[in-house]
Structure 1
Amino acid sequence: MVMLDVLSNALMSVKNAESRGDRQVIIWPSSKLIGNVLRVMQRYGYVGEFEYVYDGRGGKYVVQLLGRINDIGAIKPRFHVKVDELQKWEEKYLPARQVGILILTTSKGVVSHLEARENRVGGILVAYVY
């Protein structure tokens, strides 16, 4: 069976593990985008430590969960967003002001919407978490 969206599958694995109350989840197959998204989530305290394990078949991430995620998901299609339009997308995907983050890919790398606004750079919406 073909896996169409690796990021979406990874985020659903995290969401399902959080809802079960697990303290750890294994995400496979891995990609650089998944690693960068996990790094942003770790910076904001949504996940704990994570490590990449190379197994010869695409690798996997072992992620420690902190129990702080209420909802998480990939944004499809991946919308192109200007920095002035971020407020509109916050209202659409996040439950309230200053709750959660949108994750974007920009020319500065994978960042949250707060960092994108601070750096005055737009990008492509990838995921949300709160």
Structure 2
Amino acid sequence: MAINDPIGDLITRLRNAQLRRHSIMSVPASKLRGWVLDVLETEGYIRGYSRIEKDGEKPSFEVELKYYEGAPVIQKIKRISKPGRRVYSSVRDLSSVRNGLGISIVSTPKGVMSDAAARDANVGGEVLCEVY
């Protein structure tokens, strides 16, 4: 099955798995998804992830979801830049999410990173999603 929006698919799978209180979820592997999961792991929104390769199947990521006192750590995850409408932001225009309590994941020329890391690196780029 072809997926036109791999990040949108990842976000939807994360949201659905947390609604069902799953501890582990699976998502097809790709470089971009891996980079987004790296940012989520670094910022503490997921426990971690690993790449699973089985014979005769396409590789996938197994993501360990994180909960705090029974509630998901990711309260809301929202896709900003979509295939039909790309949203780009310069480093000056990167706004903080929920007054610094959340993050934006930005695809920059220096890689996929959080909005704080993009400000430190002094680069802007495509705003993929917001997490809080």
User: With structure 2 as the length reference, what TM-score do the two structures score?
Assistant: 0.86
Structure (1/2) with the larger helix percentage: 1
- Matched residues in 1 for 2:25 and 2:77: separation? 14
Q: Give the partner amino acid of 2:101.
A: V
Q: Which amino acid aligns with 2:76?
A: D
Unaligned ranges ≥5, structure 2: 68-72
CA RMSD in angstroms, aligned pairs only: 1.4
- The residue aligned with 2:70 is none
1:74 aligns with 79
* Aligned counterpart for 2:125 among listed residues 119, 123, 126: 123
How far apart are residue 7 of structure 1 and its match? Answer: 1.4
Counterpart of 1:97 in 2: which secondary structure?
helix
User: 2-side partners of 1:60 and 1:27: how far apart?
Assistant: 6
Q: Distance in 1 between matches of 2:111 and 2:51?
A: 19
Q: Structure 2 CA distance, aligned partners of 1:47 and 1:129?
A: 11
4+ residue segments displaced more than 3 Å:
55-58
Aligned residues: 123
State the alpha-carbon separation in 2 of the partners of residues 20 and 99 from structure 1: 25
Return 36-45 or 3-12, whichever deviates more: 3-12
1:39 aligns with 2:38: yes
Q: Which amino acid aligns with 2:50?
A: E
Match of 1:21?
A: 21
- The unaligned stretches of length 5 or more in structure 1 are none
Partner of 2:12 in structure 1?
12
Q: Residues 12 and 73 of structure 1 are in contact (CA less than 8 Å); yes or no, is this contact kept in structure 2? A: no
Report matched runs for 1:103-114 at 5 Å. Answer: 103-114=105-116
TM-score normalised by length of structure 1: 0.87
Give the share of equivalent positions with the same residue, in percent. Answer: 32
